Amino acid sequence: MPPPRFVVCGDDPLAHDLVDELISRYDAQVTVILPDRDRNYGPQLATLPGVRIVEADRLDADTFRAAKLGRASGLALVRQDDVDNIHAALRAQEQHPRLRLVIRMFNMNLGYGVRRLFRDCAVLSDAQMAAPELVAAALGEVAPHFVRLPGRTLYVARRSDVHQRDVICGIAATTGNGPPALLPERDVDADLVLAVANRRSGPVRSLDDDQPVPAARRHRGRARRRRRWLALSRALISLVDSKLEIAVLILAAIFITGVVAIALDDHVSLLQALYETVITAADAGEPNVEAGVVRQLTHAVVAVAGLAMVPVLTATVVNAAVNARLAAVAGRLRTPISGHVVVIGLGNVGTRVIRLLHELGHDVVAIDMSETSRGVQLARELDIPLIIGDASREETLRQASVRTCQALLALSTSDVANLEAALHARTLRPGLQVVMRLFDGDFASRVEQAFDIPISRSVSSLAAPAFAAALLEREVIGTIAVHRRVLLIAEIPVTAGSALDGGQLADVTEVGRVRVIAQTGPDEHSPTWTPPPSRMVRAGDRLLVIANRTGLSRLLARSSTPAPPT
């Protein structure tokens, strides 16, 4: 059998890692279209074995002919421009209607919409592919037990940890002594479920956390209340000018001294003395010329303090309001925070990561150099604290409360800035869990060894296997780890005349192998989640399934192979 042929358009790290994956794992012949072989990752691409380079600024019909697109099994458009990639895909389909297309896009809402324009197309986001791995690394998990899908994030949880309305389906029964039984026949038998992540349920727990659920909930509740009260008290202090703090403290000391003096001089209780002091401070009493010297002096001092207290308190409130406004404008935390995750860089990857962390219920603080970054608007919509500043400076990291955070992800587009931020964060908090985004995979591995930062990730190396698999028409869009075993989440198109066409969803399900979790009709823009087993399956439907590898292979055959004659 001759090796598969593919055409890849792009000259960035993802294009390089994708081509390398196709050559090394699938023994493919690859042609790369790029503007200049001497720029960006052109030199590295040219050194890969068997790669043919076509230089062109425009992806037009002449360029595709020069790349011999008609002989290719698939075309990967991985430039960092959604519109340019869509335009090129339309041109390619016009020339070669049966060509397999894989399109890289950031705006997946747009991507899922335009996918219907093409006969055989997969739309992928490298940021979306990499985000679960990055988040899992930051949270200290060996493998992600969650996956981001259009409009929602799904994760594996114990049934007792989630509300029934959030459960999509049961995926494993682990109550026996043996290995977990994946995708059992009866959904209620599964104690591990696939659920929708939302913040109302609190932070998503790792499956490796063996703490009893009630105790864990009580512990998290107490810790959350303590952090809330501490944060509130610190916030009130942080929003008040230091000079006003001194003035308030002096007036409060005078007031307390007056209470004690009246109590001792009049031989009354502290409650009675407090009442008289308040009346005196409010200037609501007549001077008593017959009182003793101590009483008269106390009366005079407290009255003066009372007069000063009103403008001081007014100034304190105004000052706090102004400081809060300035903090929001300048990008400072309005309240101290702890146990959070700091995310540096709100580009494509950082935007996906903060959304995923937010949906998983974790507190997040975001840092970016620019107000115009892609993820700034999302951070504000989600009410995520945002700091506009240089994360390579210690002062910026202090503002993000790095000393009290649980993890830091440095995801900017600069390797140097990410490394600086990671090293400064480790200085402020030794032993901090740090995940760095580095574009060069070799550099990432060397950084891990040289700087004792154990987790460095190249987004392109994380995403490239998924793009390569998509070119080979493997419909996997996510994986879920379940007790050292892996389940695949895949979208299966139903072709006309296949074994599935005209049947019911119950016919798709295989106990222990396949379960349907959503169905999208040919004319539907959003999926129907947990559809009933009696629902009909028609040509053009897309079935979202969770399956093991054997079940997925069988289902792919049934969805595309014509039904045998009867």
421-446 pLDDT, tens digit per residue, is 999 999 999 989 999 888 766 777 77
Our CA angle for 408, 411, 416, nearest 5°, is: 100
444 vs 218, residue with greater confidence: 444
Beta-carbon contacts of residue 345 (< 8 Å; ≥ 6 apart): 367, 368, 373, 391, 410, 411, 412, 413, 418, 437
Q: How confident is the model at residue 92, as a pLDDT?
A: 95
Q: How confident is the model at residue 309, as a pLDDT?
A: 64
Q: How confident is the model at residue 239, as a pLDDT?
A: 46
Assigned fold of 484-560: Alpha-Beta Plaits (3.30.70)
pLDDT (mean) for 278-305? 57
Q: How confident is the model at residue 79, as a pLDDT?
A: 94
238 vs 292, residue with greater confidence: 292
Is the per-residue pLDDT at 207 higher than 70? no
| Distance separating alpha carbons of residues 530 and 518, to the nearest angstrom | 5
Query: pLDDT-based confidence at 341, cuts 50/70/90?
Result: very high
| Helix or strand run (H / E) with residue 480 | strand 476-482
Q: How confident is the model at residue 116, as a pLDDT?
A: 78
- Give pLDDT tens digits for 107-130: 887 887 788 788 888 898 888 888
Amino acid 367 reads I
Average pLDDT score, the chain: 81
Indicate the pairing of strand 167-173 with strand 181-182: antiparallel
Q: How far is CA 308 from CA 70, 247, 252, 275, 331, in A?
A: 86, 9, 11, 19, 34
Could you confirm whether domain 242-317 is CATH 1.10.287?
A: yes
Q: Output Rg (C-alpha) for the chain, integer angstroms.
A: 31
Residue with tokens 């055959």, as numbered in its chain: 557
User: What secondary structure does DSSP assign to 57-90, as a single string?
Assistant: SS-SHHHHHHTTGGG-SEEEE--S-HHHHHHHHH
pLDDT (mean) for 286-314? 59
Is the per-residue pLDDT at 215 higher than 60? no
| Distance separating alpha carbons of residues 114 and 189, to the nearest angstrom | 40
Q: How confident is the model at residue 344, as a pLDDT?
A: 96
Q: How far is CA 16 from CA 22, 38, 194, in A?
A: 10, 14, 35
Q: What are the CB-based long-range contacts (under 8 Å, 24+) for 378-386? A: 378/346, 378/351, 378/354, 379/346, 379/354, 382/354, 382/355, 382/358, 384/354, 384/358, 385/333, 385/334, 385/337, 386/331
Q: How confident is the model at residue 255, as a pLDDT?
A: 73
Q: How confident is the model at residue 157, as a pLDDT?
A: 84
Q: How confident is the model at residue 216, as a pLDDT?
A: 40
DSSP 427: H
Q: How far is CA 301 from CA 168, 306, 307, in A?
A: 69, 9, 10
The SS3 of residue 188 is helix
Q: How confident is the model at residue 533, as a pLDDT?
A: 92
Is the per-residue pLDDT at 198 higher than 80? no
| Helix or strand run (H / E) with residue 482 | strand 476-482
Is the per-residue pLDDT at 241 higher than 60? no
- Give pLDDT tens digits for 60-111: 999 999 999 999 999 999 998 999 999 999 999 999 998 999 999 988 878 8
- Give pLDDT tens digits for 346-396: 998 999 999 999 988 899 999 999 989 989 999 989 989 999 999 989 999
- Give pLDDT tens digits for 302-333: 565 665 566 766 766 666 665 555 555 544 55
pLDDT (mean) for 479-486? 74
Is the per-residue pLDDT at 289 higher than 50? no
Q: How confident is the model at residue 56, as a pLDDT?
A: 95
- Give pLDDT tens digits for 168-189: 999 998 876 777 889 998 888 8
Query: pLDDT-based confidence at 219, cuts 50/70/90?
Result: very low
Q: How confident is the model at residue 293, as a pLDDT?
A: 59
Query: pLDDT-based confidence at 213, cuts 50/70/90?
Result: very low
Q: How confident is the model at residue 346, as a pLDDT?
A: 94
Q: Regarding the domain with residue range 5-124, which homologous superfamily does it belong to in the CATH classification? A: NAD(P)-binding Rossmann-like Domain (3.40.50.720)
Beta-carbon contacts of residue 300 (< 8 Å; ≥ 6 apart): none
Mean pLDDT is lowest, of 212-221, 268-277, 324-333, 355-364, for: 212-221
| Distance separating alpha carbons of residues 159 and 220, to the nearest angstrom | 18
Is the per-residue pLDDT at 256 higher than 90? no
Is the per-residue pLDDT at 260 higher than 70? yes
Q: How confident is the model at residue 269, as a pLDDT?
A: 82
Is the per-residue pLDDT at 51 higher than 90? yes
Is the per-residue pLDDT at 464 higher than 60? yes
The pair of three-digit structure tokens given for residue 416, joined into one six-digit string = 């140097």
- Give pLDDT tens digits for 147-173: 877 778 888 888 888 888 889 999 998
Q: How confident is the model at residue 120, as a pLDDT?
A: 85
pLDDT (mean) for 12-39? 93
Share of the chain above pLDDT 90, in %: 37
Query: pLDDT-based confidence at 488, cuts 50/70/90?
Result: confident
Q: How confident is the model at residue 18, as a pLDDT?
A: 94
Domain boundaries in the chain? 5-124, 127-141+158-239+334-462, 242-317, 484-560
5-124 against 242-317: fold identical: no
pLDDT (mean) for 46-73? 94
The pair of three-digit structure tokens given for residue 534, joined into one six-digit string = 């009696």
Amino acid 231 reads A
Task: Say which CATH class 127-141+158-239+334-462 falls into.
Answer: alpha beta
